């Protein structure tokens, strides 16, 4: 008796991640033959979301059916919906920036600019905006996103600030995390908390420049002041 043909890259079906006889999740990356399969799965989720499906309404079974793979194929790459949604969000967000890893303020500028472009993407992409709104209503999903996406981004910024301190570009008598908050804060407020605020192309440069110069008014030039006083007395 012939068995039904399986899709390329598919594995034998199983009920889900709690099947004790089934193998545990395997690494999702580094397997060349899985690239097309993973692409099909992510595209299937994006397609369902674009069609109006909610995160609550999605199931592993429906994702598998739409992608043309078995549930086991999904469970070998992701432990559940939360991990899939985080990868989908990574997929539809602008790509992570490439930094030198050796520069300080220059790398910080690149990372801030990346925040700005992600903010623009959320404003222009209805899908991306809706996914974020829904995701914040799911604590497990939001926690997964924070730990696997936001935390590494924050670590990269802190590392850039630390390199700037080591290079003499920033003061060495202040807490690095505190300085990172000062750089991060203005961009975060404009991209997340004030969706109507403008995001000009030079925003990252302006944030860095203002923080380097400080907010206190510059002292008057004593020579100019003296000349002005003498002129007024004439």
Q: How many CA atoms lie within 13 A of 93 on its CB side?
A: 22
Q: Which residue has the tokens 């078995």?
A: 70
C-beta of residue 180 within 8 angstroms of C-beta of residue 157:
yes
pLDDT score recorded for residue 20: 41
Report the sign of the C-alpha dihedral through residues 62, 65, 82, 47, in that order: negative
C-beta of residue 119 within 8 angstroms of C-beta of residue 190:
yes
Quote the distance between the C-alpha of residue 195 and its chain's center. Answer: 17
Q: What is the pLDDT of residues 213-226, one digit of tens each?
A: 998 898 876 665 55
Nearest to 55 by CA among 120, 133, 115: 133
- pLDDT > 80? residue 232: no
Query: Two tokens at 226?
Result: 């003296």
Which CATH number applies to 105-213? 1.10.357.10
- CB neighbours (10 Å) of residue 169? 16
C-beta of residue 187 within 8 angstroms of C-beta of residue 207:
yes
Q: What is the pLDDT of residues 63-99, one digit of tens each?
A: 999 999 999 999 999 988 888 988 998 888 888 899 9
pLDDT score recorded for residue 135: 86
- CB neighbours (10 Å) of residue 142? 16
Phi, psi of 199 (to 5 degrees): -125, 70
Q: Work out the end-to-end distance of the chain between its first and last CA atoms, rounded to an integer number of angstroms.
A: 113
Query: Two tokens at 198?
Result: 């403008």
Q: Which residue has the higher pLDDT, 230 or 133?
A: 133
Q: Which residue has the higher pLDDT, 95 or 190?
A: 190
Mean pLDDT of the chain: 83
C-beta of residue 113 within 8 angstroms of C-beta of residue 204:
yes
Structural element, H or E, at residue 49: helix 35-50
Domain boundaries, the chain: 32-92, 105-213
Which CATH number applies to 32-92? 1.10.357.10
Domain 32-92 and domain 105-213, same fold? Reply is yes
* Whole-number percent of the chain with pLDDT over 90: 52
- pLDDT > 80? residue 175: yes
pLDDT score recorded for residue 224: 52
Query: Using CA atoms in the order 81, 95, 149, 166, what is the torsion angle rounded to 10 degrees?
Result: 170
Nearest to 88 by CA among 61, 119, 63: 63
* d(C-alpha 221, C-alpha 136), whole Å: 52
pLDDT score recorded for residue 33: 52
């Amino acid at each position: 008796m012939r068995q039904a043909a399986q899709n390329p890259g598919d594995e034998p079906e199983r009920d889900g991640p709690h099947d004790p006889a089934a193998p545990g999740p395997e690494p999702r990356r580094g397997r060349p033959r899985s690239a097309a399969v993973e692409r099909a799965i992510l595209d299937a989720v994006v397609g369902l979301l674009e069609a109006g499906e909610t995160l609550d309404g999605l199931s592993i079974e429906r994702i598998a059916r739409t992608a043309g793979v078995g549930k086991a194929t999904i469970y070998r790459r992701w432990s559940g919906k939360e991990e899939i949604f985080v990868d989908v969000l990574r997929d539809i967000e602008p790509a992570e920036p490439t930094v030198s890893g050796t520069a300080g303020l220059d790398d910080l500028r690149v990372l801030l600019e990346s925040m700005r472009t992600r903010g623009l993407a959320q404003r222009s992409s209805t899908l991306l905006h809706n996914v974020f709104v829904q995701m914040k209503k799911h604590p497990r999903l939001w926690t997964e996103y924070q730990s696997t996406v936001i935390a590494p981004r924050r670590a990269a910024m802190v590392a850039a600030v630390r390199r700037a301190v080591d290079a003499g570009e920033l003061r060495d008598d202040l807490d690095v995390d505190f300085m990172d908050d000062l750089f991060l804060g203005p961009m975060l407020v404009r991209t997340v908390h004030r969706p109507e605020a403008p995001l000009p192309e030079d925003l990252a440069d302006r944030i860095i420049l203002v923080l380097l110069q400080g907010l206190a008014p510059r002292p008057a030039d004593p020579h100019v002041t003296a000349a002005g006083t003498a002129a007024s007395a004439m």
